[in-house]
Structure 1
């Protein structure tokens, strides 16, 4: 394969797969989920490369079936998706993230097959599903809890997720991060995620996602915000209930 036009065309397909995969992962990383921008971008690019290999590379062999490569991508991504699914007591976490990875592979396959417009439409549909349908899911869950018995409602709200955010300077980030980890190291909390994000004017955000064993267990977070907020290098500190979906 030495045709420059063909090479540029295939490179464009791979670039589209990478950009669309990164766009899908942006929503996941913003919500501090397991698979972020790089993971979904790599899944999309990998699927695109496999499809290109099957369509262009193996397609020149009369006895080869390029469609089998795409089919193996669909089944093979299941092993990667299974790695982000976690069992937490009676709850299952990571299903939405695993489904998003599966969809990212589909976007990469479309881009690799030269269907860039369909890949773009699919990317928009995936992002819309993960964002616009979220309020509908919360509404349905709220209606279910409202119609359930008090004991059932207590069981459904047994685990509640919270986010703790601290804004500090770049130089003080390691020390403040250690303070945040120490603050959430309590029997009633389980640390789910820890993310460091750059802010404005040489500031850094330290975001910790924690799960409480019981709804309303926020006393520890209140104490953490008060103590960490006393540090002169801390610009602001706060906590809020986080969404407990995947």
Structure 2
């Protein structure tokens, strides 16, 4: 009597469907990123989604739902390293956070597809596209609104320019005047500005300040001996 082994075709077909769903939804996310000329565009988002789907599907094929759960954990950490590669820090500015977050979401879409949850993958894709497109007018409106220094969370720096030999006294004067104005200094550094000038930069601990108070401090510092110039700047939190 002949016995036939069960055909692997249903599982293979299921894997193919998962990869197709991941490819299609990753294409939707990547197309929007490519249109915006982001660092991680169409191909990157598709590959992240397909890769996540493939790994999760493989985990399910080998060990069932337990294998899928453990694989998802590794996918999350792996995509985290990939996202870190597109984040760049330029001075006080950080770029690429939204691109990294989109890659992370593409991996989530792929994981849902690989776990045989295509409808949930579609929901996540819709949410990602809405976040990257529908929220843009709101973001632009908020960015165009006047900044209220007393209410915004930001990093404030006070800079004074002096001679190299005057850096020490200028540092002490800067800390003294800021603390007298109830603005404790969280950090201070000296930056060379040529052969005959240095800039002493103090970073404030406070996340909200009054612009008039900092103007008064810098005006007072400018009038002190040895201080060539004093100013302050603000960088909004990312």
TM range (shorter): 0.5 to 0.7
Deviation string 1:136-195 (CA, Å, 9 cap, x unpaired) is: 1111111144x459xxxxx9xxxxxxxxxxxxxxxxxxxxxxxxxxxxxxxxxxxxxxxx
Q: Structure 1 residue 68 and structure 2 residue 70: aligned?
A: yes
CA distance in 2, matches of 1:31, 1:65: 37
Describe how 1:127-138 pairs up with structure 2 within 5 A.
127-138=129-140
Correspondence for 2:89 = 87
Counterpart for residue 106 of structure 1: 108
Structure 2 CA distance for partners of 1:51 and 1:134, relative to 1, 3 Å: same
- Secondary structure (helix, strand or coil) at the match of 2:37 reads coil
Structure 2 segments unaligned to the other structure (5+ residues): 1-5, 151-155, 157-237
| 2:45 alignment partner, one of 40, 45, 57 | 40
User: 2:211 corresponds to which residue?
Assistant: none
* Alignment partner, residue 160 of structure 1: none
TM-score, length of structure 1 as denominator length: 0.56
Specify whether residues 144 and 56 from structure 1 end up closer, same or farther in structure 2 by C-alpha distance, changes over 3 A only: farther
Q: Name the CA distance, whole Å, in 2 between partners of 1:59 and 1:11.
A: 17
CA distance in 2, matches of 1:115, 1:140: 36
Map 1:1-246; keep pairs closer than 5 Å: 2-59=7-64, 65-145=67-147, 147=148
Per the TM alignment, residue 118 of structure 1 is displaced from its structure 2 partner at its CA by 0.8
Report the counterpart of residue 179 of structure 1 in structure 2. Answer: none
Whether the 8 Å CA contact 2:18–2:116 is kept in 1: the answer is yes
Preserved contact between residue 52 and residue 75 of structure 2 (Cα < 8 Å): yes
Say how many residue pairs are matched: 147
- Cα distance, 1:58 vs. partner? 3.2
Distance between the aligned counterparts of 1:29 and 1:6, measured in 2?
Answer: 34
| Cα distance in 1 for residues equivalent to 2:57 and 2:17 | 12
CA distance in 1, matches of 2:35, 2:126: 17
| Change over 3 Å in CA distance of 1:48–1:33 after alignment to 2 | same
Task: Report deviation, 1:9.
Answer: 1.6
Matched residues in 1 for 2:126 and 2:67: separation? 31
SS across alignment from 2:61: helix
CA distance in 1, matches of 2:73, 2:7: 27
Q: Which runs of 4+ in 1 moved over 3 A?
A: none
**Alpha-carbon separation, structure 1, partners of 2:44 and 2:7:** 31
TM-fit CA distance, 1:84 = 0.4
- Whole-Å Cα distance in 2 between the matches of residues 9 and 65 of structure 1? 17
Q: Which runs of 5+ in 1 are unaligned?
A: 150-154, 156-245
Distance across 2 between alignment mates of 1:18 and 1:91: 33
